[in-house]
Amino acid sequence: MNNIVAIVGRPNVGKSTFFNRLIQRRDAIVDSVSGVTRDRNYGKSEWNGKEFSVIDTGGYIKGSDDVFEGEIRRQVELAIDEADAIIFVVDVEEGITPMDEEVAKLLRKVTKPVLLAVNKVDNGKRLEDAYEFYNLGLGEFYPIAGMNGSGTGELLDKLVEVLPELPEVNEDEEALPRFTVVGRPNAGKSSFINALIGEDRFVVTDIAGTTRDAIDTKYNRFGFEFNLVDTAGIRRKAKVKEDLEFYSVMRSVRAIEHSDVCILMIDATRGFESQDQNIFWLAEKNRKGIVILVNKWDLVEKDSMTTKMYEQKIREEIAPFTDVPIIFTSALTKQRLLKALEAAVEVYENRKQRIATSKLNDFILPIIENMPPPAIKGKYVKIKYCMQLPTPTPQFVLFANLPQYVKDPYKRFLENKIRENFNFTGVPIDIYIRQK
């Protein structure tokens, strides 16, 4: 499991640019319209050999400027609850604003490490201006320029130094597959687990998010044995009324990183919403097995086409990774619960499978010969050999004379061919092209 680092601060101080630099890709949309970050605010970063997860809290704030203040306060409170360390980003161009003071007031009470990053410091004059941020009462500050990266090294050195040590994971526990039930609050995660275990292990009420913590249950019935983890929309009672997007993502991060297969529950009466997509994307990015359960199916008006249409809609939302089991269940009437478990076990097995190199080459090389990668600038790509890497999740490497000319559409074509011939349902696949 990784430490979680949350980036907080008011809109437009450059959190997303800084976040992109940490995770080394341009995933969050960066725009000069205040509060434009909306999605994909989660990534992994590594510094001095230490890996950690980064959450950019900016992207979960929706609404107009007057809504922002309350929202930001909430984001900061959630970050304080959930993260192992917090980076507070401020903007040297604007100096200390009342909102910065608000955030600082919350952060001064925290026992967790808080690092103050003064952004947009790209010359000597601005470095002088940065000294005013001592007035926030958070001690040392780190002048950075998110755009060109200056100063981020010192900040990250300090960050990995102050990150707490995480507890060691028990080896025996590791041997059992871990199936984590994830999804937005009130999708029926606890009811599903209670129905499986056959006892009311978890308090189930109609208030969204009454489960407090990720709870592990050893499950051993019907010939299945695994650890079942319930992450239900975990948060404290006082927080029940607020916008939960950020919270369920933040909580899911830990559980997903530490699982083999994620059972993503969605509420059939609400459809596949952006929050479900966020959690699906988290699981896919972490290369976990995925099973989608459409729960509360007993409450939906049906005709002969409903399941087909519903399933098709979900597959459109999760493209291009559509090779995922989708099962319609009802935790209440216990409909198809065993089928859901069978699917999770099968996905777990798929994720572990290894294909012999000779078998893989016999299958894929003729396909490549028939459909080689398109020539670029009159240069032809020749792929001579491929193998599966000895990694925990399925990764394939193909050796070519000009790897840089093999583009994503062709990799997707190869992935689809591999999926057609070998069962990797529910499991993300990586394909790498290397110089032979």
Residues belonging to the binding site for GTP are 9-16, 56-60, 119-122, 183-190, 230-234, 295-298
Residue 350 DSSP one-character state: H
Binding annotation: 9-16, 56-60, 119-122, 183-190, 230-234, 295-298
Amino acid at position 315, single letter:
R
Q: Are strands 395-400 and 383-388 parallel, antiparallel or unpaired?
A: antiparallel
Buried b (16+ CB within 10 A) or exposed e, 118-156: bbbbbeeebeebbeebeebebeebbbbbbeeeebbeebb
Contact between 307 and 329 (Cβ < 8 Å)? no
> Token match 């997903």: residue?
256
Contact between 225 and 231 (Cβ < 8 Å)? no
Q: Which helix (H) or strand (E) holds 370?
A: helix 357-370
As a three-state string, the secondary structure of 21-43 is HHHCCCCCCCCCCCCCCCCCCEE
The two structure tokens encoding residue 48: 């001095």
Nearest Cα residue to 44 out of 190, 256, 226, 224: 256
